[in-house]
A and B are shown apart, each in its own frame.
Chain A
Amino acid sequence: MFLLSLLCGVPLVAALILLAVKDNGTRKVIVKLAAALTMILALVSAWTFYREPVFTFKLAGAVSEFVLAGDVVLCLIIMYLSCRSGRFWIALLALVQTGLMLWMETTTGSTLQVTNDILIDHLAVIMMVIVGVIGSLITIYALGYMEDFQRLEPDIEDRRPYFFFVMFLFLAAMFGLVLSNNLLNMYLCWEITSVTSFLLIGYTRTGEATHNAYRALWMNLLGGLCFAIAIVYLRLRFDTVELDQLLRLGLASFNVTLPVALLVFAGLTKAAQMPFSSWLLGAMVAPTPTSALLHSSTMVKAGVFLIIKLSPLLGDNEAGLLAMFVGGVTFLFASFAAISQSNGKKVLAYSTISNLGLIVCCAGIGTFEAVWTATMLVIFHAVAKSLMFLTVGTAEHHVGSRDIESFDGLFNEMRTLAVCMAIGICGMFLAPFGMLISKWAAMKAVIDAGHPFLMLVLVFGSSATFFFWTKWLGKITAIVPGRKNLEADVHADEWLAMKTLAVLTIVVCILFPWISSAVVVPYLQNVYHEVVEVIGQENLIIMSSMVVLLVILPLLSFGRGHKKLVQTNLSGENLGDDLHYRGAMDVDVPVTLRNMYLENWFGEARMSLAGGALCLACIILEFAQLLGGVAHV
């Protein structure tokens, strides 16, 4: 238990210290120290708790009052912030949910008996490692990045102490969230992540940033409201606020579909599923470490974490169908929308939304193989996506744009970075993440569960995924002559984070058969009391050896050879440098190459309208069915 309080406490204390430190040098030392400590603590506690399948713990009674006070303070902060900017409906959202919680506490009094405040199973261990390792690396990266950011954007007020304070607070809240079994505690952490993401998105204080930050806030508060209603319902009807009790009730065929659906809805908003995906897209305006943190290890993962936890209760009921179809539709339309984007961060955002859609969809199916897929996706996505964001952030600072079209010749300008980026891209869509897990296992799960339309969504969505990733990969691997090296002044902190993540991506890709059998399968065995072989072990090993091949081959033979170099074909009018040709009227025309974006087919507005409408219809339908059902009973 001491370990756990350290795990949450170290980031919390670091946050407070960083708020006070104004000096850049001191901050660097503290951030690195805190990040290293957090990482070590996360790994040590992961190892400690890995050895028992489920560890439970009861906190002292005073903690619950502390949590309630936290809810109230948070509510006051939100109300102050939203009233100050004249957005009273957001204040109302916060007021209603905290009011609900207070009302529940005062009317039901102290009758509530909580057995386990904290529950650590293997899923929590996985999340702990993801948050600890990837989150910490991102904070280290942020050191170098923010220095450049403030230098390149002199108009933006330097509020770095505040920035790092919020980042570490975020990590602490995430640890709290994944460890909680008591929904009241989880709810507090849930709300803290909503508020911290709001603060991070609005960091630059420009009009757009503020607007997007408030949008993220209200969408997440809407989820928070459903979370609160679910808690109150559970408390009044079943006299419990514990997640494992909820699972036990559901498996004993009590009718808990309504609170489960409400919690799933909360998860959907946090995981940025359509029609709530706009908050994650809007979050792009924040400095890159924020996006990396939101997209990979925290925030959105909190949403899918909750849904995966609930997955034994999902399946062919309203709550399960809600997750399945909203996730599936989001996967399809977000992948399509990514095709039409040339802004690197936006492509990443859409790809995150689509991947989360797949995770939510699989968790919604709720069978052994589907949840295996969902959990594996969480791991791979966290590593590869954080790497992608960090490389795009660094490229943006040194190339001067985050547009993929401006990454022409990145391979010549910033070779190491391009290699890291290529590893990230391959990690996202090639073996094993993109093929074995997000196609094979997901397809098998969907077919075995008998959902033909979800199968359709998977088949078409994954071909779109292939399209937009390969086109990006092609752009950064093109050899453009005559570029100078821009890599020299990238901060060492940024390299440390990016190279570690690149190595991690490769390691995870190679070791995934082991990850499956060591962590994911034991977790599922504990939940489902059976083991299903999703993909045969020999196929896993074949895939893993193909990844080894992909890593070894470039080392052996990349760029070797002694061929005579010649010019590219510019129809006989090449001016000699491959970069210009003689055009009409004897004018020198520079060669510019652009990718296809199929805007008329997969335009963003169309895709988000179609996806949003379908998902909204699905949400309304499922809830109407649920509430109608309750009223009849």
Chain B
Amino acid sequence: MSELMNNLLFGIAYLILAPVVGGLLAGCDRIITARMQRRVGPPLLQPFYDVLKLTEKQEIAVNLIQDFYVGGFLLFVMISGIFFFTRGDILLVVFTLTLASVCLIVAAYSSNSPYSQIGAERELIQTMSYEPMLLMVAIGFYLATGTFSLSEIMHGHAAGIIFLPGVFLGLVYILGIKFRKSPFDLAMSHHAHQELIKGTVTEFSGKTLAMVEVAHWYENIFLLGFVYLFFVWSAGWSILLGLLACAVVFFFEILVDNCCSRIKWQALLKSTWLVSLVAGFINLLILMYMR
């Protein structure tokens, strides 16, 4: 019973704290990025100011139904995070995340605008690229620990990274896509200008855009949770190791973001599938024959 209460508390904490931490992370991201470019950068709380400002904008839209889809995106991202932090099932998390990305893609399609539709197409290609690897992460944990249940994975005898180094590499690769970082920010980008204006979110404004932003914060938090999973086991101090790993991976993604230019979708699809095959599949193959 206490286990259940514990999990519930974690879930509620996630709902309240994730946007705060996610926003702070976004602020850190912008400061670090600025320093890498020899700028001072905005204040740490700038992402919150941005979102607050968005909510005060005049309410305009190209049609009345896109809010519904964007709302669905936010909702399902939150639900999948809840599954993650209540230590539900890892596959359930992955599937709910897919459901969320379907909502965002359909929202972009619904506006029938060229920029957002190309954004939606690219978002689709991105999803098709990273999904095999994401599923392989879940399969990897299943092979290593014999269960898809997160609570059991976190209380294993040893850190997942020992069995799943290849899978971890693959995950770090696709995290670039999920964080919407260069060179993989084809569908929409946080950088000032790109050829698609704002791609997927071109036709969203005001509160609708704010919802996308907040959903992105939620998403980032539990994506880092996946990284965390690789480094924790039953030992208490491994929590610190996990958090450290998250910080390192996050910094690495920012570094890559600032070193690379955007690639074409062909290169994205080809490289991601190749990494999934080489790093992910070979790792799983070895685990499967070891069983």
Interface centre among A480, A562, A596 (most CB of B within 10 A): A596
Interface assignment of B173: CB less than 8 Å from any CB of chain A: no
Q: Which residues of B contact A (CB under 8 A)?
A: 58-65, 67-68, 71-72, 75, 79, 83, 88-89, 91-92, 95-96, 98-99, 102, 105-106, 108-115, 117, 120-121, 124-125, 127-129, 131-132, 135-136, 139, 142-143, 148, 197, 202-203, 269, 273, 277, 281, 284-285, 288-289, 291
Interface centre among A452, A557, A578, A596 (most CB of B within 10 A): A452
CB-based contact B120/A474 at 8 Å: yes
Interface assignment of A466: CB less than 8 Å from any CB of chain B: yes
- For the complex of A and B, the 9 pairs showing the least CB-CB separation, nearest first, are A474-B109, A568-B113, A463-B131, A435-B95, A563-B61, A459-B132, A478-B112, A467-B128, A479-B63
Taking CB atoms and an 8 Å cut-off, the chain A residues in 515-567 that contact chain B are 536, 539, 542-543, 546, 553-554, 557-567
CB-based contact A559/B132 at 8 Å: no
CB-based contact A467/B111 at 8 Å: no
A-B contact pairs, 7 of them (CB 8 A): A466-B124, A466-B127, A474-B117, A479-B62, A479-B65, A561-B61, A565-B61
- A357 to B95 alpha-carbon distance, docked (Å): 22
Q: Which residue from chain B places its CB closest to the CB of A542 in the assembled complex?
A: B92
Checking B91, B115, B277 against A440 with a beta-carbon cut-off of 8 angstroms, the contacting residue is B91
CB-based contact A474/B63 at 8 Å: no
CB-based contact B139/A478 at 8 Å: no
Known A-B contacts A466-B131, A568-B113; A459 and B121 likewise in contact (beta carbons under 8 Å): no
| Chain B residues whose CB sits within 8 angstroms of the CB of A480 once the complex forms | 112
CB-based contact B68/A558 at 8 Å: yes
**Distance between B81 CB and nearest chain A CB, rounded to angstroms:** 14
| Chain A residues whose CB sits within 8 angstroms of the CB of B68 once the complex forms | 553-554, 557-559
CB-based contact B128/A561 at 8 Å: no
Known A-B contacts A460-B273, A463-B127, A466-B131; A568 and B111 likewise in contact (beta carbons under 8 Å): yes
Interface assignment of A436: CB less than 8 Å from any CB of chain B: yes
Interface assignment of A102: CB less than 8 Å from any CB of chain B: no
- A466 to B94 alpha-carbon distance, docked (Å): 13
Q: Which residue from chain B places its CB closest to the CB of A464 in the assembled complex?
A: B128
Total residues of chain A contacting the partner, CB 8 A: 57
CB-based contact A569/B113 at 8 Å: yes
- A329 to B129 alpha-carbon distance, docked (Å): 20
CB-based contact A564/B71 at 8 Å: no
Known A-B contacts A539-B89, A564-B58, A567-B62; A452 and B112 likewise in contact (beta carbons under 8 Å): no
CB-based contact B61/A566 at 8 Å: yes
CB-based contact A553/B72 at 8 Å: yes
| Chain A residues whose CB sits within 8 angstroms of the CB of B79 once the complex forms | 546
- A427 to B3 alpha-carbon distance, docked (Å): 35
| Chain A residues whose CB sits within 8 angstroms of the CB of B128 once the complex forms | 463-464, 466-467
| Chain B residues whose CB sits within 8 angstroms of the CB of A567 once the complex forms | 62
**Distance between B68 CB and nearest chain A CB, rounded to angstroms:** 5
Interface assignment of A118: CB less than 8 Å from any CB of chain B: no
Interface centre among B72, B75, B114, B203 (most CB of A within 10 A): B114
Checking B102, B114, B127 against A593 with a beta-carbon cut-off of 8 angstroms, the contacting residue is B114
What is the predominant secondary structure among interface residues of chain A facing chain B? helix
Q: Which residue from chain B places its CB closest to the CB of A558 in the assembled complex?
A: B68
| Chain B residues whose CB sits within 8 angstroms of the CB of A151 once the complex forms | none
**Distance between B215 CB and nearest chain A CB, rounded to angstroms:** 16
Q: Which residue from chain A places its CB closest to the CB of B270 in the assembled complex?
A: A601
**Distance between A623 CB and nearest chain B CB, rounded to angstroms:** 28
- A474 to B65 alpha-carbon distance, docked (Å): 13
| Chain B residues whose CB sits within 8 angstroms of the CB of A255 once the complex forms | none
CB-based contact B117/A593 at 8 Å: yes
CB-based contact A596/B125 at 8 Å: yes
Checking B98, B125, B203, B285 against A435 with a beta-carbon cut-off of 8 angstroms, the contacting residue is B98
Q: Which residue from chain A places its CB closest to the CB of B203 in the assembled complex?
A: A568
CB-based contact B139/A565 at 8 Å: no
CB-based contact A456/B281 at 8 Å: yes
| Chain A residues whose CB sits within 8 angstroms of the CB of B127 once the complex forms | 463, 466-467, 470
Known A-B contacts A440-B91, A477-B106, A477-B109; A452 and B284 likewise in contact (beta carbons under 8 Å): yes
**Distance between A324 CB and nearest chain B CB, rounded to angstroms:** 15
| Chain B residues whose CB sits within 8 angstroms of the CB of A466 once the complex forms | 98, 124, 127-128, 131
Known A-B contacts A473-B102, A565-B62; A463 and B132 likewise in contact (beta carbons under 8 Å): yes
CB-based contact B95/A447 at 8 Å: no
Known A-B contacts A447-B143, A467-B124, A569-B202; A459 and B59 likewise in contact (beta carbons under 8 Å): no
CB-based contact B99/A431 at 8 Å: yes
- A562 to B136 alpha-carbon distance, docked (Å): 44
Known A-B contacts A467-B127, A478-B109, A479-B112; A430 and B92 likewise in contact (beta carbons under 8 Å): no
CB-based contact A566/B60 at 8 Å: yes
CB-based contact A452/B288 at 8 Å: yes
Checking B91, B99, B106 against A473 with a beta-carbon cut-off of 8 angstroms, the contacting residue is B106
Checking A459, A543, A558, A569 against B136 with a beta-carbon cut-off of 8 angstroms, the contacting residue is A459
| Chain B residues whose CB sits within 8 angstroms of the CB of A562 once the complex forms | 59
CB-based contact A559/B60 at 8 Å: no
CB-based contact A565/B63 at 8 Å: yes
- A591 to B111 alpha-carbon distance, docked (Å): 13
| Chain B residues whose CB sits within 8 angstroms of the CB of A542 once the complex forms | 83, 88, 92
Q: A436-B95, A542-B88 are in contact. List 6 more A-B contacts (CB 8 A).
A: A452-B288, A466-B131, A478-B111, A553-B68, A553-B72, A569-B202
| Chain A residues whose CB sits within 8 angstroms of the CB of B65 once the complex forms | 479, 558-559
Interface assignment of A462: CB less than 8 Å from any CB of chain B: yes
- A224 to B109 alpha-carbon distance, docked (Å): 47
CB-based contact B109/A561 at 8 Å: no
| Chain A residues whose CB sits within 8 angstroms of the CB of B108 once the complex forms | 474
| Chain A residues whose CB sits within 8 angstroms of the CB of B135 once the complex forms | 439, 443, 459, 462-463
| Chain B residues whose CB sits within 8 angstroms of the CB of A560 once the complex forms | 64
**Distance between A167 CB and nearest chain B CB, rounded to angstroms:** 36
Interface centre among A430, A479, A567, A596 (most CB of B within 10 A): A479
CB-based contact B106/A564 at 8 Å: no
Taking CB atoms and an 8 Å cut-off, the chain A residues in 414-455 that contact chain B are 430-431, 435-436, 439-440, 443-444, 447, 450, 452, 455
| Chain A residues whose CB sits within 8 angstroms of the CB of B269 once the complex forms | 601
- A567 to B111 alpha-carbon distance, docked (Å): 10
Interface assignment of A595: CB less than 8 Å from any CB of chain B: yes
CB-based contact A570/B95 at 8 Å: no
**Distance between A34 CB and nearest chain B CB, rounded to angstroms:** 40
Interface assignment of A475: CB less than 8 Å from any CB of chain B: yes
Interface assignment of A397: CB less than 8 Å from any CB of chain B: no
- A470 to B101 alpha-carbon distance, docked (Å): 10
Q: Which residue from chain B places its CB closest to the CB of A568 in the assembled complex?
A: B113
CB-based contact B284/A569 at 8 Å: no
CB-based contact B288/A565 at 8 Å: no
CB-based contact B62/A455 at 8 Å: no
| Chain A residues whose CB sits within 8 angstroms of the CB of B112 once the complex forms | 409, 478-480, 568, 578, 591, 593
CB-based contact B113/A570 at 8 Å: yes
**Distance between B175 CB and nearest chain A CB, rounded to angstroms:** 17
- A569 to B62 alpha-carbon distance, docked (Å): 9
| Chain B residues whose CB sits within 8 angstroms of the CB of A409 once the complex forms | 112
Interface assignment of A471: CB less than 8 Å from any CB of chain B: yes
Known A-B contacts A452-B285, A467-B127, A557-B68; A566 and B62 likewise in contact (beta carbons under 8 Å): yes
- A536 to B108 alpha-carbon distance, docked (Å): 35
- A467 to B269 alpha-carbon distance, docked (Å): 12
CB-based contact A471/B60 at 8 Å: no
| Chain B residues whose CB sits within 8 angstroms of the CB of A444 once the complex forms | 142, 148
**Distance between B138 CB and nearest chain A CB, rounded to angstroms:** 8
Checking B59, B106, B139 against A455 with a beta-carbon cut-off of 8 angstroms, the contacting residue is B139
CB-based contact A563/B64 at 8 Å: yes
- A65 to B5 alpha-carbon distance, docked (Å): 70
- A452 to B290 alpha-carbon distance, docked (Å): 12
CB-based contact B109/A462 at 8 Å: no
CB-based contact B131/A462 at 8 Å: yes
| Chain A residues whose CB sits within 8 angstroms of the CB of B115 once the complex forms | 569
CB-based contact B95/A474 at 8 Å: no
- A591 to B116 alpha-carbon distance, docked (Å): 13
CB-based contact B110/A478 at 8 Å: yes
CB-based contact A561/B281 at 8 Å: no
| Chain A residues whose CB sits within 8 angstroms of the CB of B62 once the complex forms | 479, 565-568, 578
